[in-house]
C-alpha cells in the first residue's frame, strides 16, 4: 500500500504547525518513510567506498564530494562525518567512516547513520520534536541506534581476520552516535571515547 500525502493550504492549521519557510530546506522537507529510506539508500550505495558501490542519479565523483568535509571540519553538505570501529570495513585503507544526518522540525525528529564501508545504515524517526542530545527522547533514539547496530551491523574484523562478537564489540567501543551538539567537541566524535 503506497502512502500519499495531500496539499497543505497556505495559512491553514497544519501549515501553521510547520516551521517557517526560511528553515528550508532542512526542516521543511516532507516525504514518506519509504522515500526517505530510498534517499538514504542512494547515498549509501553511491558512496565510492561502499563495497557494493553502484552510483545512482549522480556520478560517483559527485557523491565523493558530498560525503567529505574540508580539513578540520566535521560537518558539510548536510552530513556529520566521523569514524567508528563498528563501521570499519574489511579492506585495506578502510577507516570506519560514518555519515550522520539529524533533523528536527519541532514535531518530528529523524536520524540517519550511514556506514558505507560495511553497506549498512540505521534510520530512526520519532514523533517527538527537539529530541537531540540528552533529552529523554534523544536518549531513546540513542538506545534504539545502539540496539540496531549491535543486532544487525556486520561485526568488524580483528587484525587476525576473526570476527568480533557483541560482547567484545561493546567492550571495545562505546557506540554513542554523534549528534549536532557534539560537533563542536571533536573528541566526543572519536571512536576511542570513554
pLDDT computed for residue 86 by the predictor: 93
How far apart CA 158 and CA 88 sit, in angstroms, is 10
Per the structure, the count of domains in the chain is 1
Could you say which residues of the chain have pLDDT below 50? 1-3, 160-194
* 10 within a domain of the structure (yes/no): no
pLDDT computed for residue 11 by the predictor: 66
* 84 within a domain of the structure (yes/no): yes
pLDDT computed for residue 184 by the predictor: 29
* 67 within a domain of the structure (yes/no): yes
- Check the CA dihedral 125-72-116-166 and report its sign: negative
pLDDT computed for residue 130 by the predictor: 75
User: What are the CA-CA distances from residue 111 to residues 58, 147, 151, 161 (Å)?
Assistant: 23, 14, 18, 32
* pTM given for the model: 0.71
By CB atoms closer than 10 A (0-12, 13-18, 19+), residue 104 is buried
By CB atoms closer than 10 A (0-12, 13-18, 19+), residue 6 is exposed
* 23 within a domain of the structure (yes/no): no
* 173 within a domain of the structure (yes/no): yes
pLDDT computed for residue 18 by the predictor: 65
* 133 within a domain of the structure (yes/no): yes
* 22 within a domain of the structure (yes/no): no
Count of other CB atoms within 10 angstroms of residue 130: 13
How far apart CA 114 and CA 79 sit, in angstroms, is 10
Q: H or E segment at 76?
A: strand 75-76
The answer to whether the beta carbons of residues 95 and 83 sit under 8 Å apart is yes
pLDDT computed for residue 9 by the predictor: 64
Domain that holds residue 100: 31-189
180: its cell numbers: 549536532
* 13 within a domain of the structure (yes/no): no
Amino acid at each position: 500500500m503506497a502512502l500519499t500525502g495531500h496539499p497543505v493550504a497556505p495559512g491553514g492549521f497544519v501549515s501553521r504547525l510547520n516551521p517557517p519557510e526560511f528553515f528550508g530546506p532542512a526542516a521543511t522537507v516532507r516525504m514518506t518513510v519509504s522515500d526517505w529510506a530510498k534517499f538514504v539508500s542512494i547515498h549509501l550505495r553511491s558512496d565510492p567506498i561502499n563495497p557494493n558501490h553502484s552510483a545512482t542519479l549522480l556520478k560517483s565523483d559527485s557523491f565523493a564530494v558530498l560525503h567529505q568535509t574540508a580539513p578540520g571540519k566535521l560537518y558539510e553538505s548536510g552530513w556529520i562525518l566521523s569514524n567508528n570501529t563498528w563501521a570499519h570495513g574489511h579492506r585495506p585503507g578502510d577507516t570506519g567512516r560514518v555519515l550522520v544526518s539529524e533533523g528536527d522540525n519541532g514535531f518530528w525528529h529523524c536520524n540517519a547513520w550511514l556506514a558505507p564501508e560495511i553497506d549498512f545504515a540505521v534510520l530512526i524517526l520519532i514523533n517527538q520534536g527537539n529530541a537531540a542530545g540528552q533529552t529523554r527522547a534523544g536518549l531513546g533514539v540513542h538506545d534504539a541506534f545502539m540496539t540496531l547496530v549491535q543486532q544487525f551491523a556486520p561485526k568488524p574484523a580483528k587484525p587476525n581476520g576473526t570476527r568480533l562478537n557483541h560482547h567484545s564489540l561493546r567492550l571495545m567501543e562505546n557506540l554513542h552516535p554523534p549528534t549536532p551538539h557534539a560537533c563542536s567537541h571533536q573528541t566526543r566524535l572519536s571512536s576511542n571515547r570513554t
